[in-house]
Structure 1
Amino acid sequence: METKGAFNPEKDIPDLAGKVFSSQEVGTSGLGKQTILTLAKHGPKHIAFTGRNKKNADSVLSEVKKIAPHVETAYYECDQSSLASVNGAANAFLSTEPTRLDVLICNAGIMGGPMGLTKDGYEIQFGINFLAHTLFTKRFIPLLDRTATEFGEARVVNLTSSGYTMFPGPLSFDELKTTQKNIGMGGKWARYGQSKFAQVIFGSQLAKHYSNITVVSIHPGVVHTNLVEGQPFLDRIFVKMTTIGQSVPLEQGTYNTLWAATIPLQGSIESGSVYYPVGQHQKHTKAASDAGQWKRLWEWTEQQLE
């Protein structure tokens, strides 16, 4: 499945009237903010988003108000290194008794960085990039399911990375509550690839469990946001050298997310799949094609999030 020709948000995003979107971890810059601003121009009913910094969130709310004053927006404070904080943000959104949630965009992420653990004791990249998003998804499944039944469709869009292909598998479940200092060559980059690998295979299993919800994992492309610019000097050079000639401007980096969140479904999107920019279907790597790993990650995750 491929999208023919270039994606143009101005022309290719349909009228979003009545739809409700939720996005995680939106700051004053980066893909999350740019995605929200572009969606707002197309008139959805409501956009809810999370983030760690209220000042940053107020800036986003103000910008949306200027470009789309009739779009309702709401911010929920959330630290995705804490499952209690994720639960709190989910509870706050659900307490408003929303009648629909058309698209959940799992956008937050960290890349590289020093070894560490989340507040719940999970390897930090795995905890933030995978487990926090999975908890949000789990909490919102009933609402997404109801939306799909009543309005014809609902979607989960996971921002993964082509970096998931670096992880050879299988997941070492007994080590996910450690810093994984012995994960092997590449250290921080292996842990990053692992977290993105988990996103991909969990998305495939989620699609199997909920056939009426469209689930996709997308690679946004190489975009030099703060994920890259905030790296230590040598890591920044490494990333830029290994992706030389591949980087795209910030706005273009949102195109694959916007495509997955808004394109008419008929014949366009295969649930449980991975897409590279823009709308280019990718086969799972051999490691990510192991349905046994899908099932085991699903069961492990259910146990962790009980």
Structure 2
Amino acid sequence: MSPTLRPAPSRLAGRTVVITGANSGIGRIVARSLAAADAHVVLAVRSVQKGRDAAATMPGDVEVRRLDLADLSSVRTFAEELDGPVDVLINNAGVMVPPLGRTADGFELQFGTNHLGHFALTARLLPRLRDRVVTISSLGHRSGRIVPEDLGWERRRYRPLTAYTQSKLANLLFTSELQRRLTATGSTVRALAAHPGVSATQLLSRGQRLTRIERLSMRLAQPEEMGAQPALVAATVDLPGDTYIGPGGFLEWQGAPALARRSRRARDTAMARRLWTASEQLTAVSFPRDALVP
């Protein structure tokens, strides 16, 4: 078992943190914790009103800006209108096992939101990023598989859970490849990842019919406050790039933050590079070399 880690939010005092999907669930808790530690926190949310409602419950310097990760034009507008440097970007927002849907740009909704939207956002903010990118993955990545010839679920029968696990595997492959490129160019920016274990978030209580595994997960789920701890550790503790943090308890479902395990597919560097190339082509967004140097 890996040693447990504790968040160090005081290290973000006076810094700017952008958190996607910060109006509910784990993102809201992370945002509140960092705002309480005197960070300037930007809630990047699809619903501005829900973001304002969340911000009203938080102390400190909190700003609300609209961002729809399922619309690349919204990602571009958000990045263009955001002022000043960003110290920490937390790619937290996500959708989980909805019926087949498409983003504004025609991508399968889960892959388009959970991976491609964050890929494009990170690319656009990277020239102003000073410290780190934290991307939230999931235990579900372990059963995930990237199908490069059908990332958009246009040739296969749609399976919501399989599409979700593909998107969460993509989050980890993106983190590793981003860190590889940052390291190769001498950048001091770091890419890290985290997962909440099994937490009682809105993703698990979305009002739809639940599978047997999901019902079991809800019975064993830990409180949102504990599920937020790995993300807080990844955002605040001085850790090497490509570190992956999750609960350190039973099957990584619960417990204090610790180093997390990746699946074999999540360590596939060739697939990470292939996914990166496909993501650039799909989003028409590239990571310019001059954005990857200090």
- TM-score by length of structure 1 reads 0.83
The secondary structure found in structure 1 opposite 2:10 is coil
Say if 2:200 and 2:218, in contact at 8 Å, map to a contact too: no
Taking only the aligned residue pairs, the percentage that are identical comes to 28
- Take 1:86 and 1:180, find their aligned partners in 2: how far apart are those partners? 28
Report whether the alignment pairs 1:208 with 2:202.
no
1:129 to 111, 114, 122: 114
Count of aligned residue pairs for this structure pair: 272
Say if 2:204 and 2:218, in contact at 8 Å, map to a contact too: no
2:50 to 56, 62, 66: 56
The equivalent residue for 1:289 is 267
The equivalent residue for 1:173 is 148
1:247 to 221, 234, 242: 221
- Take 2:34 and 2:134, find their aligned partners in 1: how far apart are those partners? 14
Q: Partner amino acid for 1:87?
A: R
2:75 to 67, 76, 86: 86
The equivalent residue for 2:157 is 182
- Take 2:10 and 2:2, find their aligned partners in 1: how far apart are those partners? 19
Deviation at 1:240, TM superposition (A): 2.4
Report whether the alignment pairs 1:194 with 2:170.
no
Q: Partner amino acid for 1:220?
A: P
Give unpaired runs (5+ residues) of structure 1. Answer: 148-153
Deviation at 1:270, TM superposition (A): 3.1
1:75 to 51, 64, 69: 64
- Take 2:257 and 2:202, find their aligned partners in 1: how far apart are those partners? 24
Summarize the Cα distance change of 1:227–1:141 in structure 2 as closer, same or farther, 3 Å threshold: same
Deviation at 1:181, TM superposition (A): 4.2
Say if 2:45 and 2:51, in contact at 8 Å, map to a contact too: yes
Say if 1:15 and 1:43, in contact at 8 Å, map to a contact too: no
Give unpaired runs (5+ residues) of structure 2. Answer: 248-255, 285-294
- Take 2:152 and 2:161, find their aligned partners in 1: how far apart are those partners? 18
Say if 2:137 and 2:172, in contact at 8 Å, map to a contact too: yes
The equivalent residue for 2:37 is 42
Deviations 1:89-145 (A, max 9, x none): 11111xx2x0x311100010011011121111111110011000111100111111x
- Take 2:209 and 2:267, find their aligned partners in 1: how far apart are those partners? 35
- TM-score by length of structure 2 reads 0.86
Say if 1:20 and 1:102, in contact at 8 Å, map to a contact too: yes
